[in-house]
Amino acid sequence: MKFTKDSINIEPAKEFEKISSKLKEDVIKKLKKRGAVVGISGGIDSSVVLAICARTFGSDRVLGVMMPENDSNPDSLNLAKKLSAKFNTKYVVENMTDALAGFGCYKRRDDAIKDVFPEYNNSYKAKITLPSNLLEKESLNVFQLTIIAPDGKTKSERLPLKEYLQIVAASNFKQRSRMSMLYYHAESRNYAVIGTGNKNEHEQGFFVKYGDGGADIKPIAHLFKTQVFQLADYLEVPEEIRKRTPTTDTYSAEQTQEEFFFRVPFGILDRIWFGWEQGIPSKKIAEVLELTEENVDSIIRDTQRKIRTTEYLRMEPL
């Protein structure tokens, strides 16, 4: 195949028709459900899935569930409301803070943060990130903890194993509690839960098992993030959502998905990954994307490592 920067592009109308007809078949015939529940965050993926569901089943058979909690960015809720208004879908707002406090999510996480930074308290913000210089140097995926003091001063430290595991395990209560809430709303209406993960998240393991990974159907799990944006344009998802930088909305400090996990801009990552899947030689990919062959190879290796080391997340119980 001839590889260009645009080779990754989809034909959005055709793609929508394909996803929509499969979704209808799956929800109505296979699952025998009467509609769709989608957790909406104000992010691009959940917005596209809500739009697909609204056009597939009709607005009155789709429920958007917003689930903010203590650390959520308030913009997320406002954008999710705009999205529901745009597609004329019903929504409910479920504040998850009390449930999460009940699980000890915040306390368990903060205890681990304090083990690393004893000065940390409620007035600080925190996030965990991967090194972002993958295009400059091929480094291993080892997480850093960053805290931001009320005066804006930041401190970062490599996370020791015990604290890393505790912060991740505690934070995962968020996605798992949200899944319980989505199934409550789905079961009480005889609807299906529609997952919102894209190909980047699904294959590289950027999701929580039985959390946001827990859904009846994952209609966009085959689409690169770049392609999700294309579909968002076609479906006329509100511009504010389309222009927003993808974040995790999980940690109290602002954190992009790129710094948390993917390490390179989606426009580059997706095109390299796409080229590699199509069997295009690294040299050719590098030439088209104006990168070095070494850059391309190191991104391919990082992607391969993530796919391989997160296999367990995609496994059914053995």
Binding interface with another protein (CB under 8 A): 131, 137-144, 158-161, 164-165, 301, 305, 308-311
* Helix/strand/coil (H/E/C) assignment for every residue in 210-263: CCCCCCCECCCCCCCHHHHHHHHHHCCCCHHHHHCCCECCCCCCCCEHHHHHHC
User: Based on CB atoms, which residue is closest to another protein, 41 or 248?
Assistant: 248
CB of 226 to another protein, least distance (A): 25
User: Which of residues 85 and 142 has its CB atom nearest to another protein in the complex?
Assistant: 142
- Token output for 101: 């406090």
Q: How far is the CB of 300 from another protein (least distance, A)?
A: 12
- Contact indicator for 88, 55 with CB cutoff of 8 Å: no
Least distance to another protein, CB of residue 112, Å = 13
Q: In this complex, which beta carbon is closest to another protein, that of residue 21 or of residue 309?
A: 309
77 three-class SS: helix
Query: Which of these, 104, 203, 115, 218, lies nearest to 161 by C-alpha position?
Result: 115
**Smaller CB separation from another protein, 24 or 158:** 158
Using CA atoms, how far residue 302 sits from 3, 49, 54, 208, 272, in Å, is 22, 28, 36, 20, 11
Task: Give the Cα separation of 43 and 134 in Å (integer).
Answer: 25
Which three-class secondary structure state does DSSP give residue 109? helix
Question: CB of residue 259 vs another protein: minimum separation in angstroms?
Answer: 15
Q: How far is the CB of 97 from another protein (least distance, A)?
A: 29
Q: What single DSSP character describes residue 133?
A: -
Closer Cβ to another protein, 243 or 308, answer by number: 308
Nearest distance from C-beta of residue 308 to another protein, angstroms: 5
**What is the smallest separation between the CB atom of 201 and another protein, expressed in angstroms?**
16
Q: Which is nearer to another protein, 130 or 186 (CB)?
A: 130
Amino acid symbol at 258: E
Kindly tell me which of 100 and 128 has the beta carbon lying closer to another protein: 128
Amino acid 169 reads A
- Tell me how crowded residue 183 is: count the other CB atoms within 10 A of its CB: 17
